[in-house]
Amino acid sequence: MSELPEPDDRPGERQALEEYLDYFRVVLRRKATGLNDAQTNARPCPPSTLSLVGLVRHMTEVERYWFRAVLDNQLQRGPYSSVDQPNEDIVPSSSASIGDALAAFDAEVAAVREIAGRYELDTITTPRKRGRSFNLRWIYVHMIEEYARHCGHADLLREAIDGLTGD
* pLDDT(2) > 70: no
Is the Cβ–Cβ distance between 85 and 54 less than 8 Å?
Answer: no
- Indicate the domain borders of the chain: 21-162
- Name residues whose C-beta falls within 8 Å of residue 66's C-beta, 6 or more positions apart in sequence: 139, 142, 143
CATH topology of domain 21-162: Four Helix Bundle (Hemerythrin (Met), subunit A) (1.20.120)
Average pLDDT for the chain: 91
Continuous segment of H or E residues that includes residue 114: helix 98-116
Say how far apart CA 153 and CA 139 lie, in whole Å.
21
How high is the pLDDT of residue 22? 96
Reported as a pLDDT band with limits 50, 70 and 90, residue 120 is very high
pTM of the model: 0.92
Say how far apart CA 8 and CA 14 lie, in whole Å.
12
Mean pLDDT across 123-131: 82
Q: What is the amino acid identity at position 31?
A: K
Mean pLDDT across 118-132: 87
How high is the pLDDT of residue 83? 67
In tens, the pLDDT along 143-153 reads 999 999 999 99
